Chains A and B, each alone.
Chain A
């Protein structure tokens, strides 16, 4: 099944190397931020995690679309794994975001951080995905319903983002600001390496988890065939 794609082994070792490089870039190469101090380093892990979460949700939605368009059997597990990893990285975004908020502004949560609020809404949405999936009998119907829901999620991302920005106009929260990315070249390079490493790591996790789910399904089928 995975013969045509780059070998998982190669990708996994590549992820190890990139993560190691990212650690060096973040803590040795990139200079400390003048305004925010050492806590700015959280940026190098929080933002790539958020971007990876979006990518995973997008992957889940793409596989869902393929499932509805072609009815290929493989797409259900692929979409499910994408959404699952997206949710994991989404939770990580919220937690690292809260830590960064505490480090920068002294509060664990603020409604004025559009990205944090967006991830909260998405977290609620995708948790419901799992509840939906576990409430419907396994079969083609469940696959289709899950796929439609995953597609709705991806449509919800930009719509929610606009909504949250509009909401800030009349909620008037205490606005916290952070210095924008006035990054030096080394900081930008560190960010890019970190982003690449976390993306590759997420992809490796996706392939591994998918292999586990597929094997599980195959074994179940094998068991049914072998039962006397």
Chain B
């Protein structure tokens, strides 16, 4: 078990180090989310309520995550390293977990910029809204890492990834927006937790089948 966790930690650390050196994905995500929020200001009519802004926050987060996910497996694919990882004597699901944690770190970094910007530009965020962001981010990265690996095996992968990901992201958007605007956010947070549990376990179990030749 501890060997498994050590593998996961090593894989996640590798991704973070690569990003620190290359610095191509994270700055793009930060800039993208800020630009999107600005575009949304112009997209919202003057009398749109606060609730509409929360909806747009979630659109921004989902598409920023897609940006990060599109690049999630690029390094492995270009170096042909995915085959090497798969052959290595570690459980293949550890690859998924490492990638998910690394992607989560990038998304969290983007959110650290996006959320204060949102509060400044649009509307306040309370604890339940933030809880929604945390839970939904986990779901986004768990499902996204798996789906991104699927797309990586395909032609036209840049276009395919959003098509595969967006239907799966719909429940997360519902949960996130609900946690932000509903008077009873507990239900939505519980729902996000349920989504995370179901799809994290599914992704964890299914990753091996997606990635072996």
CB within 8 Å of B: which residues of A?
68, 121-122, 124-125, 127-128, 131-132, 135-136, 140-142, 144-145, 147-149, 151-152, 155-156, 159-160, 162-164, 166-167, 169-170
B25: A residues at CB distance < 8 A: none
Q: Are B213 and A141 in contact (CB under 8 A)?
A: yes
Task: Say yes or no: A135 contacts B178, CB within 8 Å.
Answer: no
- Complex Cα distance, B157 from A147, in Å, reads 18
Q: If the complex has contacts A135-B160, A166-B188, are A145 and B153 also in contact, measured as CB distance less than 8 A?
A: yes
**Partner-A contacts on B (CB < 8 A):** 51, 146, 150-151, 153-157, 160, 163-164, 166-168, 170-171, 174-175, 177-178, 181-182, 187-188, 191, 194-195, 198-199, 202, 206, 209-210, 212-213
The B interface is mostly helix, strand or loop, or mixed, namely helix
Question: Is A163 a contact of B174 with CB atoms below 8 Å?
Answer: yes
* Distance, CA A160 to CA B199, complexed state (A): 12
CB < 8 Å: which of B51, B150, B178 contacts A132? B150
B175 surroundings in chain A (CB, below 8 A): 163, 166
Pick from B154, B156, B157, B170: contact of A163, CB under 8 Å: B170
Query: Are B156 and A135 within 8 A (Cβ)?
Result: yes
A-B contact pairs, 5 of them (CB 8 A): A127-B163, A128-B164, A135-B155, A159-B199, A170-B182
Residue of B nearest to A161 (CB): B171
Q: Which of A135, A147, A162 has the most CB of B within 10 A?
A: A135
- Are B182 and A169 neighbours in the complex by a CB distance under 8 Å? yes
CA distance A164 to B177 in the complex (A): 12
Inter-chain contacts of A151 with B (CB < 8 A): 202, 206
Is A131 within 8 A of B163, CB to CB?
yes
